[in-house]
Amino acid sequence: MQTRLTKKLGIKHPIISAPMATAAGGRLAAAVSNAGGLGLVGGGYGDAEWLEREFAAAGHARVGCGFISWSLAQRPHLLDIVLAHEPVAVMLSFGEVAPFGQRVKAVGATLVCQVQTLAMAREAVAAGADVVVAQGAEAGGHGIERATFTLVPELADYLLGAAPDTLLVAAGGVADGRGLAAALMLGADGVLVGTRFWASTEALVPPGFHAAALAADGDSTLRTTVVDIVRRYGWPKAFTARVLKTRFALDWHGRESALAEPATLEHEEARFANSYKAGNADDACVFAGEAVGLVREIAPAGEILGRMVRDAEILLGRASDMLGT
């Protein structure tokens, strides 16, 4: 399955695994890349030791890395660590691109910028993005409000006129061959997949969290700031996080000001941290997108990618047959 994205990145299939903080380690990134996609290590909020360990775990696979831009601005040396590993691509999300974009491109890596609005896409293009990821609110983790189904074609039209050499990738709600085929029909050159690869054997996810995801459906998530308050992360106000409706999330969603009270926060922060380490989903927050309703098993990432490609090819072939082409 060849598109402009496969040619740009030197991969077989137009699929990138999302750089999910703490979950997207080297084994997952390598598994996706070895199966013909591009795996991204999750740079997250920045831990030099973790990054070094996970790039080592990726071995000789061609992988990239993703960063939360506003957090990277507080630890800019982390970009140097990643660039020293000669990543195929570096993805920047949730903040300014300009301070880092040219450094990425200077070493020959592909600059990928994730955006949630048309205005952000314009900023990414101005900063020299090679690839723009249009992230809809269906996605797990942080995002804004726009839906994938309308954001992708709008950005496709914009890029066609303003920056025709800039590639477009769809993110949010893509978990199988139907999502991949639909994204290509909407004008994307490929997809960025989070939740489905999060639910893989290589992901750094506690078994209890995987169990909670398998028991969930697409109605079992909500967008909230609870997960950031309890971890004391100062996310920009525009962004909320999509998580499973665990007991912890439901206990505090809508009562964020009470959670932020110093004594309460200290107690709940410890509860949250201990539950996360133990893999106790009920007393923690579990990042997952609406596509969790399409996850029915925890499988190797290579199998997930292969099935996604095969199913998309069948669907696109049927569409061609229906049109008589």
pLDDT of 267-303, one tens digit each?
999 999 999 889 999 999 999 999 999 999 999 999 9
The β-bridge partners of 274 are: none
Does 137 score more than 70 pLDDT?
yes
- Do 41 and 216 meet the contact criterion of CB atoms below 8 Å apart? no
CATH topology of domain 4-202: TIM Barrel (3.20.20)
Q: In what order do the strands lie in the sheet with 240-244?
A: 141-143, 240-244, 221-224
Dist CA 221 CA 218 (whole Å) = 7
Q: In this predicted model, what pLDDT tens digit does every residue of 3-26 receive, in sequence order?
A: 999 999 999 999 999 999 999 999
Give CA–CA dist 116/135, Å, rounded: 5
Is the overall model pTM greater than 0.85, yes or no? yes
Mean pLDDT of 83-99: 95
Q: What is the pLDDT of residue 324?
A: 64
- Per-residue pLDDT tens for 25-54? 999 999 999 999 999 999 989 899 999 999
**How many C-beta atoms surround the C-beta of residue 61 within 10 A?**
18
Alpha-carbon distance of 251 to 259, in angstroms, equals 10
Note whether 40 and 89 are within 8 A (CB): yes
pLDDT given for residue 1 in this prediction? 84
For residue 318, name the pLDDT band (cuts at 50, 70, 90).
confident
110, 87 contact by CB (below 8 A): no
Percentage of the chain lying above the pLDDT 70 cut? 98
Q: Where in the chain is CATH 3.20.20.70?
A: 4-202
**φ/ψ bin of 98: left (φ > 0), alpha (ψ from -120 to 50), beta (otherwise):** alpha
- Write out pLDDT tens, residues 181-215: 999 999 999 999 999 999 999 999 999 999 999 99
pLDDT of 323 higher than 80: no
Question: Does pLDDT of 320 surpass 70?
Answer: no
First to last CA, the chain: 18
What digits encode the pLDDT tens for the residues 109-125? 999 999 999 999 999 99
Residue 121 has what pLDDT?
98
